Amino acid sequence: MSFIQEGISLVAQTDPEVAQSIQRELDRQKGNIELIASENIVSPAVLAAMGTVLTNKYAEGYSGRRYYGGCEYVDEVETLAIERAKKLFGAEHANVQPHSGAQANLAAYMAVIDPGDKVFGLSLAAGGHLTHGAPANASGKLYDFTQYGTDPVTGLIDYDFLAEKVAEEKPKLVVAGASAYPRIIDFERIGRIAHDNGALFMVDMAHIAGLVASGDHPSPVPYADIVTTTTHKTLRGPRGGMILCRSEFAKKIDHAIFPGTQGGPLEHVIAGKAVCFLEALSDDFREYQHRIVRNSKALADALLEKGFSLVTGGTDNHMSLIDLRPMGVTGIDMQHRLDSVRITANKNAVPNDPQKASVTSGLRVGTPAVTTRGFNEDDMREVAELIYLTASRYDEKKNEIIERVKALCDAHPIYE
C-alpha cells in the first residue's frame, strides 16, 4: 500500500537505520504465516490514524475536563471512541485511555481493592496472564493472590474447586480471563461464585474481545463489575487497552487511570481505537470473527488427525494449545524450527509441564491474523500439514515447507 511505503520513505530521509528495520518488519509480516494468537493485522485506516498529528497533543484528564487548552478536537475523538465501545459491548461506561492491557488491569485493581487484599486469579500455568497475580508482576507483589487452575485430566477450568476456595477464603475480587485457554469460559458461573461470596468480579477479555463483540464467545459484560481488554488482539485495533464497567465504578476507574497510574493519554492511539470500534460494529467484522473460529476448528481438527495432542482435546475459540510431547520436540525447539520456515508461533506451557518455562512442551497457535489475510479452512489444513512436517521431518522437508509457506502468503497478500 503506497502510504505505508511513503511513510517508510519519510522515516528514511531522516533515519535510514530505523527505516530499514521497519521495512524488514513489513516484509516479514508479508512473508510469514502469523499464528501468534494475540496478534493481528490492522486495517489501513487504523494504521493511518495512529500516524497522525494527534500524537502532538497533551490531554491529561477526560473529555470536557482536561488540564490543557486546545483539547476540543481530541475530545471529539475520545468521545467517539467511548460511545462506540459502549455500543459495541453494551457497557455502561468505557475508559479508552489505558496504554495497554497490563495498564488497564493495574488501574482496575487500584480502583476497587487495596494493597494486601485477597484476590483470585487463573494461574499462568493454566493459561492465565502475568497481571493476574504472578509473583514477578506488580499484581502479585501488591495483592494477596490465590491462583486457581485447570483440571489436570480435562484441562478445563475447575469451577468446583474455585467455588469451594472462594467460599472458604472470601476474597475481595475474583478475576477471570486468560491468554492461553482454548475453550469458552463460563463468566456467568464465575460471576455467581464471586457475587454469592461478597466478592467483586472482574473479567480480562484481552484475547477474546473480538469474539465477544461478534457473539462467538458469551459476553462477560452482563456478569462482571469490571471488564478489561486489549484492543489489538482479536479486536484488531491499535496496540492498547480499555476498561468497561458498570456506572457505579465509572468514577473510580477513571480516577485510577488518571491520575492514578497514567499521565497524558495517547490520543493518536485512541483515534485508532475509535476507528477499530467502528469497524467492529459492522457485519463484515462479525463475519470475520465467525471465520476466525471456523479456521481455528479446522486447524485443530487437522492437527489432531496428524497425531498431535491438544490441551482440552480441541478448541471453541481462536486458538489451540498443542501438547508436543507425542512428537518428541519441545516448545522452544518447535518455535525455532517454525521461525526458520517462516511460520511464527510461540512456545507455551501445557498443564503440569515437565519442562521449565523457557523450554515448555507446548505451542500456542491462533487464527486471528491469518484469517484477516484471507486464509480459509483448506489453507488451515495446509498449515497443519506444514506444522506436522516441521515437527516430524524437518531436516528433510525444510526447503519444501518454505516454498509452501510462500505459496500461501502469495495467495493472501497484505497491505498490497
Ligand X SMILES: *Cc1c(COP(=O)(O)O)cnc(C)c1O
Residues 173-192 interacting with ligand X (rule: CB under 6 A):
177-179
Q: Is 39 a catalytic residue?
A: no
Nearer to ligand X, 85 or 408 (CB): 85
For position 134 contacting ligand X by CB under 6 A, the verdict is no
Q: Quick one: which of 101, 171, 182, 351 contacts ligand X (CB under 6 A)?
A: 101
Q: Any contact of residue 100 with ligand X (CB under 6 A)?
A: yes
Task: Identify whether 58 is a catalytic site residue.
Answer: yes
Active site residue 204: yes
Q: 320 has which bridge partners?
A: 365
Residue 287 is among the residues annotated as catalytic for this protein: no
Q: Taking CB under 6 A as the rule, does residue 318 contact ligand X?
A: no
Of 131, 150, 228, 230, the catalytic one is 230
| 179 versus 214: smaller Cβ distance to ligand X | 179
Q: How many residues bind ligand X (CB under 6 A)?
A: 15
C-beta of 382: minimal distance to ligand X in Å? 28
CA distance 65 to 134: 36
Minimum CB–partner distance for residue 238 and ligand X (Å): 11
Per rule CB under 6 A, is residue 129 in the interface with ligand X?
yes
Q: Which is nearer to ligand X, 129 or 373 (CB)?
A: 129
262 is a contact residue toward ligand X (CB under 6 A)? no
Measure CA 105 to chain center.
Answer: 13
Query: Between 202 and 231, how does the x/- string for binding to ligand X read (CB under 6 A)?
Result: --x-xx----------------------x-
Q: Which of 66, 165, 172, 233 is catalytic?
A: 233
- Min dist. Cβ of residue 33 to ligand X (A): 21
Dihedral sign computed on CA atoms, order 293, 313, 162, 124: negative
Q: Which is nearer to ligand X, 129 or 404 (CB)?
A: 129
Residue 249: CB minimum distance to ligand X, A: 19
Q: Would you call the peptide bond into 259 cis, given omega within 30 degrees of 0 as the criterion? A: yes
Taking the complex as a whole, the smallest distance from the CB of residue 106 to ligand X amounts, in Å, to 9
Which of 34, 78, 204, 225 is an active site residue?
A: 204
Applying CB under 6 A, among 131, 330, 361, 367 the residue interacting with ligand X is 131
Quick check: is 230 catalytic? Answer: yes
Among 99-107, 139-147, 219-227, 282-290, which window interacts with ligand X (CB under 6 A)?
99-107
Specify the residue, 40 or 179, whose C-beta has the smaller distance to ligand X.
179
172 touches ligand X (CB under 6 A): no
* Catalytically active residues, by annotation: 58, 60, 204, 230, 233, 239
Interface residue list for ligand X (CB under 6 A): 38, 100-102, 105, 129, 131, 177-179, 204, 206-207, 230, 241
